[in-house]
Structure 1
Amino acid sequence: MRRGISVVAMAAAIVLGVTACGGGKSDSKSSDSGNAKDPASVSGTLTYWDTSDAKNEAPTYKALIADFEAKYPKIKVNYQNVDFGTVEQKFKTAAQNGKGAPDVIRTDVGLIPEYASLHYIAPLDGTTALTDTSDFLAGPLNTTKYDGKTYGVPSVTDTLGLLYNKDIFAKAGITAAPTTWDELIADSAKIKAKVPGVAGTYVNPDSYFLFPLLFGEGADLADPAGKKVTINSPEAVKAVTEAKKIYDTSSLKVDFASAYDNMQTSFKNGKVAMLIQGPWSVSDDLTGTAFKGKETNLGYAAVPAGSSGKALAPTGGHDLAVYQGSKNLDAAYLFTQFMTSSASQQKIALKNGTLPTRTSAYTAEVTGNPEIAGFKPIMDTARPRVALPQVGSLFTPLQQQYIKILQGQVSVQAGLDAAAKEFGKLLPGYTVQ
């Protein structure tokens, strides 16, 4: 499952994300500066909500928590693994009610603006949680910002890249990954002609995977500075027209009911030559017949560029955020600092194969992991999604119209105009073109 915001999970958040009023006002007795004068003197119990995979990733975080408690024996951590698909609504409910919210939460980067706008999470500038920011990669650090303040600390990061099957490329006479969408279409035609039964790609109808095409044309969902909805701008129309062209000419037939699973199965078993995908898929890819026992057959490249000439993809991943109503802010700050330190990130990367957010964490040992080595340069193409509290809710109307466009039910312009109209309802004060 991808690590970005799930469109399905966002559907239930549309109304709440727009209408909920702020909660969780802090009544903590923490130090005014947010920094304990003597960290060793900080005591108390804090609750941490971890959204990592309970089976494959959580053990690493539990081990780090044991290390933290050994370093700060007066602080105890109540660890809770919370399902990624339900954590957003669970946290909103707890923060709104002022009961049951964790002191620290691992959150999708796309939710930081919404949580901050609702006053559910604390600004971290000047606190112990946010130290040595010059060591963070620019992309992940930018995901923590809202309205001029910092509300999270980058923990793990990801983005979208182009994964490809080297053997299929060789059979088709392709010597390098495509760097433009036109090249992707041309390469798909070569594959279809020279490698029977194999499609060039598989278009994922999840609107998150549309971002590389939008960004490549200089388009985005909205323009906060100008208070404009831009999803139906000429640039966005051009991007989605290109996506439709790729779907019509180069994609394996999409089963819209189970698109993601079928896409993965087709790629890892050698029926599709290349995918726009993230690092979270690699462990699954390597279980398929195309890559199992021959991991070097999996190629990594940046997403193709649009007419802007730039290869751009959304910054994904997770940040740690501190609940504004926490009664143990000093302990929460120390815990957040520890869990996002370079040493902790190295341990997480080595055990879980996720990409660190600190430059210093990319040691020779860490980059010895082919997945991390493959995606590290691709991170240079990553850029944040537009920092709007409602950004998650915008995915649903875009998803609905994008599917209709791909299926030929509506034209690109009509579909994006319909999405823009729904965006206008979710973004009060924004003009719709």
Structure 2
Amino acid sequence: MSMSKKAALPSFLLASTLLVTSCSGGGAGASEDATASTESIEGMELPEGVEIDFWHIQATIYGEAITEMVQEFNATNEWGIVVNESFKGSYQELNQAVRASLAGGGAPDVSMAYENDTLEYVANDVIVPLDPYLESEQYGVSDEDMGDLVDGVLARQRVEAYNGSTLSWPHGNSSMGMYYNADIFAEAGIDAPPADWDEFLEQARQVKDETGLPYSAMGTGKNGIYYNMLRSKGIDPYDPGAATTEFTSPESIESLELLALLFEEELVYTAADTEQEFTNERTATELGTTARTSTKIEQIEDRFQWSVALPPQESAEPITQLYGGNHVILSSDDPEQELASWLFMRWFADTDAQSIYAARTGYSPAVESALDTELLSTNYEENPQKAEAFDNVFVNAQIMPPTAAGNAIDDMVTGIVEEVVLGRLTPQEAAERMDAETTSLLASAPQN
């Protein structure tokens, strides 16, 4: 990594997830004097062998795909850029490592980040806006290529909280889908996954009565399922701009009551690894990320028939959670370093790279043109569940409303929902606590 990388940047709170510093100025991103302009980028020639550090959260087959892709980029890019990739654990661990490095030195050039993480970095003025690169004639992205991006994927690079700036670029994306064992469904007399949450409950009771099996296993972090229930009913859990929530709404109380009932009747249970419960035929369904479609194909083989569908919906516009981090560039005083970072990010989000990533993993491609490559079209033909995950689920996926308080809200909601399913809080008590704590967190979060 270039020695010009800043050794220390504005101090981050290392003992807390939520930052409470405020942006210096009205716009998002790095300070004006550190931000490249399209004019300054045009004609810039990179010296041979610029090295950039890339931090990510990918292990197992996903990490193997990253290694393959980085090796491909290093061997073929025309600028001689060398990417050094480094696995940093979970998203939370990666965020902690980035914040520590920004405070103490040795920060990466490119990092994976969720929108909530990005807004934390924005609040500390360490994000490089990408619009000058996107608009560059020499290094930018054409209108045709912009149109190739899946709608939900493009939208998450330019969320409202970014104040008109593009602050990230695609890495890999997945969505919350509903896996179901078609053989268990048939044994229970069920011919299709549930259309709405009332039918979800009906089917859960039917599966237990007819087969003796639980309907589903849910992980220790149930906030994602709870959020999905609310969004499927047509409401967002909270509004960062207004610092208000929908946690005490009738839709929210109804969702919490359903979760409590499912556990009370032992129709679902908590498991550390819900995929193992599903693939070993201990449950009929699993609500989980479509990124795991590929591992299910490997584990299930031909032992039973299964597929993946959109989770239950109760509004006119289908919606499900959009998962997966983006790429961001962290500020440096070296414009060549930042340009090299952008060129790697641009390559990673393009057709060929996305087809490799989607074929090697369960991620869905960020660009529709990847579906037409020989590699991915063959892979989807051989693995129809991956194609179903894209067609049935991924195209309906959208991110949650991002906020710098998002990580803290998620942790709090996770704990309170767990109290509900354990019977320690009533849905009404839980809703009021989530509303009060989220409102406070949103009010104290940095505003861009």
- TM-score normalised per structure 2: 0.82
Cross-structure match for 1:264: 275
Could you tell me which of 53, 61, 86 is aligned with 1:56?
A: 61
Could you tell me which of 299, 302, 318 is aligned with 1:293?
A: 302
Q: Classify 1:189/1:162 alpha carbon distance in 2 versus 1 (closer, same or farther; 3 Å).
A: same
Decide whether the 8 Å contact of 1:34 with 1:329 is kept in 2: no
Could you tell me which of 307, 316, 340 is aligned with 1:331?
A: 340
Cross-structure match for 2:256: 240
Q: Classify 1:231/1:39 alpha carbon distance in 2 versus 1 (closer, same or farther; 3 Å).
A: farther
Q: Classify 1:310/1:409 alpha carbon distance in 2 versus 1 (closer, same or farther; 3 Å).
A: farther
Decide whether the 8 Å contact of 2:168 with 2:328 is kept in 1: yes
**CA-to-aligned-CA distance 1:64-111 (integer Å, 9 cap, x gap):** 3333233235322222222225111010122234x2111111223543
Cross-structure match for 2:417: 402
Q: Classify 1:62/1:94 alpha carbon distance in 2 versus 1 (closer, same or farther; 3 Å).
A: same
* Deviation larger for 375-384 or 24-33: 24-33
Q: Classify 1:334/1:285 alpha carbon distance in 2 versus 1 (closer, same or farther; 3 Å).
A: closer
SS at match of 1:15: coil
Inter-partner Cα distance in structure 1 for 2:244 and 2:35: 41
Could you tell me which of 135, 140, 152 is aligned with 1:139?
A: 152
Cross-structure match for 1:8: none
Inter-partner Cα distance in structure 2 for 1:273 and 1:14: 41
Q: How does 1:31-430 map to 2 (within 5 A)?
A: 32-33=38-39, 35-37=41-43, 44-53=50-59, 55-69=60-74, 70-84=76-90, 85-97=92-104, 99-128=105-134, 131=141, 132-145=145-158, 146-196=162-212, 198-206=213-221, 207-249=223-265, 251-254=267-270, 259-261=271-273, 263-286=274-297, 291-294=300-303, 297-306=305-314, 308-325=315-332, 327=334, 328-363=337-372, 364-368=377-381, 369-377=383-391, 378-428=393-443
Q: Classify 1:310/1:276 alpha carbon distance in 2 versus 1 (closer, same or farther; 3 Å).
A: farther
Q: Classify 1:282/1:14 alpha carbon distance in 2 versus 1 (closer, same or farther; 3 Å).
A: farther
Instruction: Quote the offset at 1:117 in angstroms.
Output: 3.2
Identical amino acids, percent of aligned pairs: 20
Inter-partner Cα distance in structure 1 for 2:360 and 2:255: 38
Inter-partner Cα distance in structure 2 for 1:179 and 1:26: 50
Cross-structure match for 2:10: none
Instruction: Quote the offset at 1:63 in angstroms.
Output: 3.0
Decide whether the 8 Å contact of 1:155 with 1:320 is kept in 2: yes
Inter-partner Cα distance in structure 1 for 2:170 and 2:282: 36
Decide whether the 8 Å contact of 1:17 with 1:390 is kept in 2: yes
* Deviation larger for 339-348 or 201-210: 201-210
SS at match of 1:164: strand
Decide whether the 8 Å contact of 1:130 with 1:153 is kept in 2: no
Inter-partner Cα distance in structure 1 for 2:412 and 2:167: 27
Q: Aligned AA for 1:260?
A: A
**What stretches of structure 2 of length at least 5 have no aligned partner?**
1-12, 24-28
Q: Aligned AA for 1:57?
A: Y
Inter-partner Cα distance in structure 1 for 2:263 and 2:61: 34
Q: Classify 1:195/1:116 alpha carbon distance in 2 versus 1 (closer, same or farther; 3 Å).
A: same
SS at match of 1:141: helix
Decide whether the 8 Å contact of 2:175 with 2:320 is kept in 1: yes
Q: Aligned AA for 1:404?
A: E
Decide whether the 8 Å contact of 1:104 with 1:322 is kept in 2: yes
Inter-partner Cα distance in structure 2 for 1:163 and 1:154: 25
Instruction: Quote the offset at 1:346 in angstroms.
Output: 0.8
* Deviation larger for 387-396 or 276-285: 276-285
Inter-partner Cα distance in structure 2 for 1:301 and 1:420: 31
**What stretches of structure 1 of length at least 5 have no aligned partner?**
1-11
